[in-house]
Amino acid sequence: MNIEHFLTNANPSWMQYESDSDIVISTRIRLARNIANVRFPISFTEQDAEQIEHQLMNALLAINRENPNRFSYFKVKDMPQLQRQILVEKHLISPNLARRQKIGAFFLTEDESISILVNEEDHIRIQSLAQGMNLQQAYGEAKKVDRYLSKSIAYAYEDRYGYLTSCPTNVGTGLRASVMLHLPVLTMTKQMNALIQMMTRLGMVVRGIYGEGSDNLGNVYQISNQITLGKSEEVILQELEKVVEQIIQKEQLARKNLLLRAPAVLEDRLSRSLGTLKYAKILTSEEAASCLSNVRLGVSLGLLEPISQRKLNECMLIMQPGLIQQYAGATLQSTERDMYRAKLLQEKLNEQTRNNGEKGEDSYDV
């Protein structure tokens, strides 16, 4: 598959299901693996790197013959900076891999739900994405690829420490599971700091989702397990699920309370955000993220006209600098980007308004 397919598609099929919860956005699973008896990327040679890529390519060719989910292969060094940035914005590759000058490659399935990062911090990182809260499904998909690869690749694995990884924070299961949550009211009511501290004590990590230094831009947080050794995969997933469910409940409760206490103020604030998205001529990424967050909340509370989560997710994705430029088809300066962002989001939201009434257009893609 051509790289353009992955760059232009802001709505890959894995993102097209409407999830049950309007708080959970997506789920991501990552498995870190290394090949036995080959030095880790921090100390290996370029020849080692080439060799690893070849090994993976051969293993995956066999998958491509058996599996309709075909993998496409790309070398990072062949890609211009903007393309790399877009793939990072879409969470298909890591910023770490995107920065690589010489080594590094990745494999992607056509629906973009599975990517395999080669020679990032570890030789192999299998990543699986799913819409909404779907830890088991995403893990199942990653596991399938993992088991398949292990048929032809001998992993660095030993009894005591399990899967050996470059960083001891990943050793054992090599599993990092994350759930992306939209928590506007917990943020608004300043409950997030206490929650983050609690989650850290429970062995969870909380992060923002957008680019460098973005903190909790758009009130979206990524919550993931920190522990990879001393717990089984099942326990890791269950614990994360439990924590996430509790946070969802807290957010729901906070939303109810807010709605009871200040409905008019809330409706005004959320409606203004929709107005801004629809009519503003210049939108910085901060403003766009904050307005999109408010609109998402407003739609979820029934205070604003219905807009599908799919559309809102797409807007959250395309407002990032790399994708904005991809859509514009040109390199844009920061202020030009802000103008184009306003235009693009307006178009997307107008498409949605036109489509309202043609209900169900999103729901048959099973």
Partner 1 sequence: MICEHCKQRHANVTVTQIQNGQQMERHYCDVCAAQYHPFQFEMKEEPASLQQLMTNWFNFVPILKKENVAGSTAKTKACPTCGNTYRQFLKQVKFGCGDCYKTFSEQLPQLLEKIQAGTKHVGYVEEKHLKEKINQQISELRTLQQQAITDERFEDAAKLRDDIRALESKVEQGEEHA
Q: Of 147 and 261, which CB lies nearer to partner 1 in the complex structure?
A: 147
CB of 160 to partner 1, least distance (A): 6
Of 6, 74, 107, 155, the one binding partner 1 by CB under 8 A? 155
Query: By CB under 8 A, is residue 152 in contact with partner 1?
Result: no
C-beta of residue 309 within 8 angstroms of C-beta of residue 19: yes
Query: In what helix (H) or strand (E) does residue 54 lie, and over which residues does it extend?
Result: helix 46-66
Per DSSP, the three-state class of 38 is coil
Q: Of 228 and 352, which CB lies nearer to partner 1 in the complex structure?
A: 228
Q: Which stretch binds partner 1 (CB under 8 A): 63-71, 168-176, 295-303, 330-338?
A: 168-176
Angle value at C-alpha 317, between 311 and 319, nearest 5 degrees: 100
Per DSSP, the three-state class of 280 is coil
Quote the distance between the C-alpha of residue 257 and its chain's center: 30
Q: Considering only residues 72-131, where is the footprint of partner 1 by CB under 8 A?
A: 94-96, 121
Rounded CA-CA distance 189/195 in Å is 12
Q: Which stretch binds partner 1 (CB under 8 A): 63-71, 222-230, 255-263, 322-330?
A: 222-230
Q: Of 10 and 175, which CB lies nearer to partner 1 in the complex structure?
A: 175
Query: By CB under 8 A, is residue 206 in contact with partner 1?
Result: yes
On the 0-12 / 13-18 / 19+ scale of CB atoms within 10 A, 290 is middle
Rounded CA-CA distance 92/30 in Å is 11
Q: Of 58 and 150, which CB lies nearer to partner 1 in the complex structure?
A: 150
> How many chain residues touch partner 1 (CB under 8 A)?
63
| Category of 185 on φ-ψ map: left (φ > 0), alpha (ψ -120 to 50) or beta | alpha
- How many other CB atoms are found less than 10 A from the CB of residue 347? 11
Q: Of 22 and 122, which CB lies nearer to partner 1 in the complex structure?
A: 122
Q: Which stretch binds partner 1 (CB under 8 A): 106-114, 227-235, 291-299, 336-344?
A: 227-235
CB of 169 to partner 1, least distance (A): 4
C-beta of residue 230 within 8 angstroms of C-beta of residue 267: no
Query: By CB under 8 A, is residue 37 in contact with partner 1?
Result: yes
Residues near partner 1 (CB under 8 A) are 30, 34, 36-40, 42-43, 94-96, 121, 147, 150-151, 154-173, 175-176, 193, 196-197, 200, 203, 205-208, 210-216, 226-233, 236
